[in-house]
């Protein structure tokens, strides 16, 4: 795709892992980019499909990496899930398999956590999936609770290697119950749209910057955003060519956006 002309200033949505940080280390140039956006008053949100942490936790982790992101500029699949359920069934109840990021978000949305006839079973990311909790989730879904999962990622990285993630455990529950969950996080464009609402932005002048074709670029595309693929994370240049859709622009890393946030699609030279 060619450069996009736009008379409006751009807003930005950034995926977090592989784009701004990598294994708790800052991607070179990410701090300069965030400083530029904040100094110029450019609305932006940092998105993550990981539902383990609250925005406050994530702010502290990012600060430790050398990246100063305000708490209100962090949007997680847990927050998107809580907002979705709040609009679907205000003041409802849920049985939650997940960590504080998810339980806090649901609690703040006015939800009651219960094991007795919940409206929803909500599955999120956790490092300690218990067989007992999964069994209870299966029985509650069989009894009529609606099945929601924060994100479809089947696995995630760790220092020791890959870890099973929400999508893998969701598949286990789906196999046992025959009920497919509704996934709120990327690539569901619902997560993009809820983030856009948070910053009061419109899709036509917002850019999604991500490192994955199958989640970031796809959800950005489906939400009507311009998309920038960075090669500092999951997808390589060859990987990008394998998909039937393309990002608006491919760059090495966010460092290439520094000094160009006003018009990142302008022809260079």
Task: List the alpha helices (DSSP H) in 10-97.
Answer: 30-39, 55-65, 77-88
Buried b / exposed e across 85-120, counting CB within 10 Å, b at 16+? bbeeeeebbbbbbbbebbbbbbeebebeeeeeebbb
From 44, 45, 47, select the one nearest 10 (Cα to Cα): 44
Phi then psi for residue 132, to 5 deg, are -65, -45
Question: Is 15 a catalytic site residue?
Answer: yes
Order the strands of the 120-123 sheet from edge to edge: 112-113, 93-97, 120-123, 146-149, 182-183
Question: Is 32 a catalytic site residue?
Answer: no
> What is the predicted pLDDT for the residue at 89?
98
> What is the predicted pLDDT for the residue at 269?
52
From 205, 127, 120, select the one nearest 169 (Cα to Cα): 127
Using CA atoms, how far apart are residues 61 and 24, in angstroms rounded to an integer?
A: 8
Token pair in block for residue 124: 């999120």
**CA end-to-end span of the chain:** 18
Burial-class residue 47 by CB neighbours within 10 Å (0-12, 13-18, 19+). Answer: buried
Using CA atoms, how far apart are residues 164 and 152, in angstroms rounded to an integer?
A: 11
Would you mind telling me the total number of residues written for the chain in this entry?
Answer: 269
> What is the predicted pLDDT for the residue at 158?
72
Using CA atoms, how far apart are residues 49 and 144, in angstroms rounded to an integer?
A: 26
Write the CA distances from 121 to 51, 159, 225, integer angstroms. Answer: 15, 30, 31
Intervals of the chain under pLDDT 70 = 1-8, 268-269
> What is the predicted pLDDT for the residue at 235?
79
Using CA atoms, how far apart are residues 19 and 230, in angstroms rounded to an integer?
A: 7
For the chain, what percentages of helix, strand and coil (3-state, to nearest 5) are there? 40, 20, 45
CB 127 within 8 A of CB 112: no
Burial-class residue 8 by CB neighbours within 10 Å (0-12, 13-18, 19+). Answer: exposed
> What is the predicted pLDDT for the residue at 240?
84
Token pair in block for residue 20: 């701004």
């Amino acid at each position: 795709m060619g450069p996009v002309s736009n008379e409006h200033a751009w807003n930005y949505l950034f995926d977090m892992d592989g784009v701004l940080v990598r294994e708790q280390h800052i991607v070179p140039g990410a701090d300069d980019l965030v400083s530029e956006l904040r100094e110029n008053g450019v609305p932006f949100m940092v998105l993550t499909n990981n539902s383990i942490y609250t925005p406050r936790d994530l702010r502290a982790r990012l600060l430790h990496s050398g990246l100063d992101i305000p708490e209100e500029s962090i949007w997680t699949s847990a927050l998107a899930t809580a907002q979705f359920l709040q609009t679907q069934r205000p003041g409802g109840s849920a049985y939650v398999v997940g960590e504080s990021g998810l339980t806090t978000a649901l609690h703040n949305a006015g939800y009651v956590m219960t094991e007795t006839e919940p409206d929803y079973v909500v599955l999120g990311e956790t490092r300690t999936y218990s067989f007992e909790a999964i069994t209870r989730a299966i029985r509650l879904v069989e009894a009529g609770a609606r099945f929601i999962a924060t994100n479809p990622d089947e696995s995630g990285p760790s220092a020791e290697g890959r870890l099973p993630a929400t999508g893998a455990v969701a598949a286990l529950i789906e196999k046992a119950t025959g009920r497919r969950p509704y996934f709120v996080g990327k690539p569901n464009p619902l997560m993009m749209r809820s983030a856009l609402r948070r910053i009061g932005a419109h899709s036509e002048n917002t850019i999604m910057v991500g490192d994955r074709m199958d989640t970031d670029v796809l959800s950005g595309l489906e939400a009507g955003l311009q998309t920038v693929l960075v090669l500092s994370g999951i997808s390589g240049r060859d990987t990008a060519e394998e998909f039937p859709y393309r990002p608006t622009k491919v760059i090495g890393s966010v460092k290439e956006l520094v000094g160009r946030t006003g018009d990142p699609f302008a022809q260079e030279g």
